[in-house]
A and B are shown apart, each in its own frame.
Chain A
Amino acid sequence: MKQQPAGSVVSRGEKVFNVSMVIIGIIITMLALYPIYYALIASLSKPLYVENGSVMLRIHGFTFESYRKAFQKEGLWMAFGNTFFYTIVGVLVNMIFSTTMAYALSKKRLFARKFFTLFTVFTMWFNAGIIPLYMTFRDFNLLDTRTAIIFGFAMNTYNMIILKSFFEQVPASLEEAAFIDGATNIQIFTKIYLPLSKPALATVGMFYAVNRWNSYFWAMNLLNDDTKIPLQVLLKKLIVDQVANETEAAIITSQSLSSPTTVIYAIMILAMIPMLVAYPFIQKYFKTGLTLGAVKG
């Protein structure tokens, strides 16, 4: 037994506590990751082993067949393409609408600033709800259009407020100097404020992108045309509505390389891949954004 160095304050109780925290941390990690891990190993295993319960901790009967079948699903690539379109164009539109408004609202000298701020913040506490918004889209003749998805959700008040509080922190001296040089507000906004706010823009852009990528509800209600629907709406049909039923399960033999169930898991993994690839960036920017949002209320 080693003697504890003199002056060490780590007591026996403290040590037990630290070790149990490590164990708790590992258990929580496993609980958080297991559902995703299970979908992955099930999608890469032969269906017989998935459906008799052999696949729990690792892959049994490795095969890519479920992915090959998943790629052949009608409309999958189109839906992926649509989602990329809605995400890229949508985030661009989001950023244009929210940075311009946030910049104007960040200026204390703006006449009726209080009114305009309340005008936006009020919608966070009270909104009309599903049916009136649906009727609004109908009144504007935007049902079954890409425009509805892109422009109908061009703004998120919470994100706009984050940008506004960021613009407020930029020293006013920069703006005054530019005014003396004869710059207009729009020039100051695009040439000084936007380049200075890159971290905030990245954070809010990330918020919007995750939202755009994952949203399904309004796309499901507004779009009928199969060539316009995003991935999440197709996924709803493929993995939630069509849970593999008993009759399909019955025809699986040890020769089968894929089954409706394993194909569903493959589709889930395919849908998660872009998000998992972006996760390191997401994690970095979300954390700064969330703490910023909390401080500012």
Chain B
Amino acid sequence: MQNVKKAGNIIKRDWDLYLLLLPGFIWYLMFAYKPMVGLRTAFYDYNIFRGFSGSEFVGLEHFISFIKGPDFFRTVTNTLMIAFWQIVICFPAPIVLAIAITEMKNKFVSKLTQTSTFLPYFISVVVVCGMVVNFLSPSTGIINMILVKLGMEPKYFMVMPQYFRGIYTTMVLWQTTGFNAIVYIAALVGIDPELYEAATVDGAGKWKRIWHITLPGILPTIITMFILNIGKIVKVGYEAILLLYKPSTYSTADVIATYAYRVGIENGNYGLATAVGLFEAVVALILVVAANKLSQRITENALW
């Protein structure tokens, strides 16, 4: 009773704080939580014109038909393979770059490297994909012109499935490495310089110092970034893949998200598309929680 009264008093004094909270709250209801209610589409044979009342409840049928269907193995494999290359190449690259930048004693070169690698992040996905497609064009692309000068045959890379993952990984590497390095650079600056001095006195060389002081010093940051990004990595950059893939490269390029997009937006099968999207969102959520648990157990660093 007293609690209720106290709460009442606080609300009376701070009623306008709730007024400030209101626009954002309504926004979340409309554009974040209403779509979550819309997830029930995944359990209906949904028809736009009849709405939910006129659509048949089908339970898990969409999930089953996706998992048993011919596209499941391909899209899951592609998603995992693209995510794998992101984790193996694009995730460690900013750590290496950050260490390299902080190790550069020449301040001008250090600054130049940082500024130039940071830049590509701000170029839009569309322009970056435009560059990729045009640079790799079989007739006028610079990559093929270099190949021809080296005495090789030009190739139409964008229609060859065996090149897609390499092209995509390189593109992401170029666009995000400098941006993601910023956080590590900030963490590196925070390492106590006395540790390095003590190690130097003890006769530790450059590599030893990097291995025994620098890396452990930024390990919490590395773990935080990994947990923060694992969900995003698993969802892969479907916006870019949609611009780059072609029917001839679906065998290596079509991921869960692009498949859901085609099924839903292009073919209008909302029920199946929502089910596929939900499947992916749940897998991503499980991975984030698992990554957090794992890091808690191994290193005692966790986000929550």
Docked complex: B1-50 residues within 8 A CB-CB of A: 7, 10-11, 14, 16-21, 23-25, 27-28, 30-32, 34-36, 38-39, 41, 48
14 A-B pairs (CB sep. < 8 Å): A21-B103, A25-B110, A28-B97, A32-B116, A53-B145, A53-B148, A128-B38, A128-B277, A129-B260, A130-B264, A131-B273, A216-B126, A259-B140, A261-B134
Interface residues on B, range: 35 or more
A154 at the A/B interface (Cβ < 8 Å)? Answer: yes
Smallest CB-CB A-B distances: 10 pairs: A101-B24, A129-B277, A239-B130, A128-B35, A132-B38, A53-B145, A214-B124, A132-B35, A104-B21, A25-B109
B57 at the A/B interface (Cβ < 8 Å)? Answer: no
A50 at the A/B interface (Cβ < 8 Å)? Answer: yes
A82 at the A/B interface (Cβ < 8 Å)? Answer: no
Given the complex, which residues of B lie within 8 Å of A291, measured CB to CB? 182-183, 186
The interface of chain B, by Cβ under 8 A from chain A, is 7, 10-11, 14, 16-21, 23-25, 27-28, 30-32, 34-36, 38-39, 41, 48, 97, 100-101, 103-106, 109-110, 112-113, 115-120, 122-127, 129-131, 133-135, 137-140, 142, 145-146, 148-149, 174, 178, 182-183, 186-187, 200, 205-206, 221, 224-225, 231, 239, 242-243, 257, 260-261, 264-265, 270, 273-274, 277-278, 280-281, 285, 288, 303
Q: A184 CA to B18 CA in the complex, in Å?
A: 12
Q: A120 CA to B39 CA in the complex, in Å?
A: 18
B110, B183, B285: the one contacting A290 at CB < 8 Å is: B183
Interface of A is mostly: helix
Given the complex, which residues of B lie within 8 Å of A51, measured CB to CB? 139-140
The residue in B31, B39, B183 that gathers the most chain A C-beta atoms within 10 A of its C-beta is B31
Docked complex: A16-47 residues within 8 A CB-CB of B: 17-18, 21-22, 24-26, 28-29, 31-33, 35-36, 38-39, 42
